[in-house]
Amino acid sequence: GENVEQHPSTLSVQEGDSAVIKCTYSDSASNYFPWYKQELGKRPQLIIDIRSNVGEKKDQRIAVTLNKTAKHFSLHITETQPEDSAVYFCAASKNTNAGKSTFGDGTTLTVKP
């Protein structure tokens, strides 16, 4: 089955710096890659997603890039703010296998004021 590895497991940055989280996946048939943000004690919530026919997608300070050849995708957060502090999860799924998602283990991002 699909295997998703996420790095780093923890990341600490100064406010205003950029943060990058990377995920690699094993199944070349995977074609949908969402990122979720989970604040402490809260539910995971989608922040951005990308489909395999697109190489990059941006939404204000957040961007995701996808390299299908290398089978990895990355989350980029620019001009980080303390409210960006949370756990971020990547996931991968494909059109077969009922579209089940496989999640990475998460990255704890801390933005220091």
Shortest approach of another protein to residue 106 CB, angstroms? 5
Nearer to another protein, 4 or 19 (CB): 4
According to the binding rule CB under 8 A, does residue 46 interact with another protein? yes
Residue 34 in the binding site for another protein (CB under 8 A) = yes
Question: Rounded distance, CA 32 to CA 54, Å?
Answer: 10
- Strands (DSSP E) contained in the chain are 4-7, 10-14, 19-25, 32-38, 45-51, 56-59, 62-67, 72-77, 86-92, 102-103, 107-112
Specify the 3-state DSSP secondary structure of 92: strand
Residue 27 makes contact with another protein by CB under 8 A: no
d(CA 51, CA 57): 9
Among 8, 26, 79, 100, binds another protein (CB under 8 A): 100
**By the rule CB under 8 A, 49 interacts with another protein:** yes
Q: Does 42 bind another protein (CB under 8 A)?
A: yes
- Options 9, 26, 28, 67; binder of another protein; rule CB under 8 A: 9
Using the contact rule CB under 8 A, the part of the chain among 54-62, 65-73, 78-86, 88-96 near another protein is 88-96
61 binds another protein (CB under 8 A): no
